[in-house]
Amino acid sequence: MSEHISGRTFLLPDLGEGLTEAEIVRWLVAEGDQVVVDQAVVEVETAKSIVEVPSPYAGRVATLHAGEGQTLDVGKPLITVAAAVAASTDAATADVSADAASVDGEAYREEEKAGSGNVLIGYGTPGGSGTGRRRRPRGASPAAPVVEPVVGPAPISTARSTTTRVPRVISPLVRRLAHDHDVDLHSLEGTGLGGLIVRADVEGAIAEAAPVQGTPEREAPATASAPVPPAAPVAGERRIPLNGFRRTVSEALSRSRAEIPEATVWVDVDATALWELRESTRTAADPGPGLMSYIARFVVAGLREHPVLNARLDTERQEIVAFDAVNLGLAVQTDRGLVVPAVLGAERMTTAGLDAAIRDLTARAREGRATTEELTAGTFTLNNYGSFNVDGSAAIINHPQVAILGLGRIIDRPWVVDGELCVRKITQMSFVFDHRVCDGGTAAGFMRSVADAIEDPASAIARL
């Protein structure tokens, strides 16, 4: 038998259940490297997070079809992997080669048959010895990962019928969702084209197993518009293209302003007592909970008193959908732009628990490692714009939420206490709400609930 090289091209999958493109952030392999099934080969940026995409093929990297910084449409070639296979005139072997070259999803099914459980980040093949994946630092010369020698492609069966049905799953996010909720993909009947298992199928299985209340539904993103030809250069003018991240932010903010009739109220708050409480808990060995964790807890308590603000509006059915769970969104500024990941289940946490969760979430968000659920499941947003050393802001509501609370910087100001002028720690809170779900009385009631807790934190915590 002789050998020939069979190249298989992996198309960029839908990494956001409807997103039409992704930006190549960093290649983790180079042309000529050997890769194995499930090895992460590239970091791409979707809506608001960076994810690693694993290869469904084993072999040598023949072609990288896009450069770093380039935006690639879903369904376009991402990487071609070449593997040495035995040549034969046998019809079955020829049929296998045809299957290996196919890019219509057959390789994904065979990957599942071989036992691959990788979805995006941190999930290896069950029962295996690992993927051998290593990340290449920026600027470093690419090197082949330390793995067992690869002499051929991942096994592909020649059988046209088996006793075990192989699930059709293309999107890594669908596999990740199934993995996280222990959903057996073999038990699902796909409703997508040609029996493809889509996100709705997995979510339906999750709902049947354990109905979950309090998670907002997400509407399908708008389809991409036709490409616009580049503008002619003009002297003295410099054009900066919007990347995929910034376009997503732009669309979300525009939709919020276009659809939500918002109103804003604000109040100055004496935060001296809260400041002193925080300082009293700090030691050399333990800094104690931060101010934001206390305020987050007061916000959660305020939302329990005014649940209409922890909600979304179903415009089709003309219903307010209130959530039992408080998934508290936090506005986080990153190198790539603003993201709003959520502390999931904040209503169940203590002040110390919120402090740990907030620190962990904001750190991962700045690294682009917040999960898809954290980036999409928020039910209310808290925005600490005081970190930018400003006092106030009329924020834009994070659609489809119905309200956002902002906190300005805490500074020393003259303040009257019991008829006496003194210096106090003062901050300004602003509250933007959807006027369709409530009126000013409810908004003011929520604001005062949070403000009163900040001004008398000891009493507030005792009631929680």
Catalytic positions, please? Answer: 435
Cβ-based neighbour number of residue 232 at 10 Å: 5
Query: 28-44: buried (b, 16+ CB within 10 Å) or exposed (e) per residue?
Result: bbeeebbbbbbbbbbbb
Tokens of residue 197, six digits? 């298992």
Q: What gap in Å lies between CA 260 and CA 451, rounded to an integer?
A: 25
Task: Report CA dihedral (106, 112, 117, 119) to the nearest 10 degrees.
Answer: 20
Helix (H, G, I), strand (E, B) or coil at 448: helix
In order of 41, 163, 174, the CA distances from 12 in angstroms are 12, 31, 15
Q: How far apart are CA 181 and CA 206, in angstroms?
A: 7
Q: Estimate to the nearest angstrom the gap between the alpha carbon of 141 and the chain centroid.
A: 30
DSSP state of 456: S
Order the strands of the 40-46 sheet from edge to edge. 49-54, 40-46, 21-27, 71-73
Which residue carries 């659609």 as its tokens? Answer: 399
Tell me how far apart the alpha carbons of residues 55 and 41 are, in angstroms, rounded to a whole number: 6
Smallest CA-to-CA distance from 380 within 408, 350, 336, 347 is with 347
One-letter amino acid at 225 equals S
Cα 49–Cα 382–Cα 304 angle in degrees, nearest 5: 120
Could you give the 3-state DSSP secondary structure of residue 352? helix
Helix (H, G, I), strand (E, B) or coil at 407: strand
Closest CA to 398 of 331, 322, 350, 458: 331
